Amino acid sequence: MPRRLRPSSAEARRERLLEFSRTFEALTEIYFVQDEPLRCLHAVFRSLNLAEAAGPSPELAWGYSSVASLLGFMTMHRVAGFYFDLSARVSQGIADPASNAWVALGRAVYLTGLGQWTLPRHC
């Protein structure tokens, strides 16, 4: 590949971080379905840490939302709200309809589980 078309090392590092973040997000889903709570928590935080290292991205919005959902299931509502707010901020800053939908869906499911039928405006 011509040098001018090769990604810079910073771009390549970012892409690797995001790829690994997506891998851990998939593991989060698998462990959640398999009822493996400790592995699920490890995978979701690992996914988020990798996405944070890469910077603003759909993966980062998904990561914050996934962490918020899991913390909410653990009745850590204040911390869950904090992560949902982070996910909304990241989601608003990027142009990715899929991550915007994931963030809104995550918060909606969480609030529905709490019996809060009226969604906040930033959902």
Q: What percent of the chain has pLDDT over 90?
A: 73
pLDDT band at 19 (very low <50, low <70, confident <90, very high): very high
Q: Which are the contacts of 96, defined by CB distance < 8 A and separation ≥ 6?
A: 58, 61
Q: What's the pLDDT tens digit per position in 25-61?
A: 999 999 999 999 999 999 999 999 999 999 999 999 9
Q: Where are the beta strands (DSSP E) in 1-123?
A: none
The pLDDT tens digits of the residues spanning 65-78 come to 999 999 998 999 99
pLDDT of residue 118: 73
pLDDT at residue 16 in the model: 96
Q: Identify the CA nearest to 37 among candidates 9, 3, 71, 87.
A: 71
Q: Is the pLDDT of residue 1 over 60?
A: no
Q: What does the pLDDT read at residue 114?
A: 85
**What are the distances in angstroms from CA 79 to CA 30, 61, 94?**
24, 16, 23
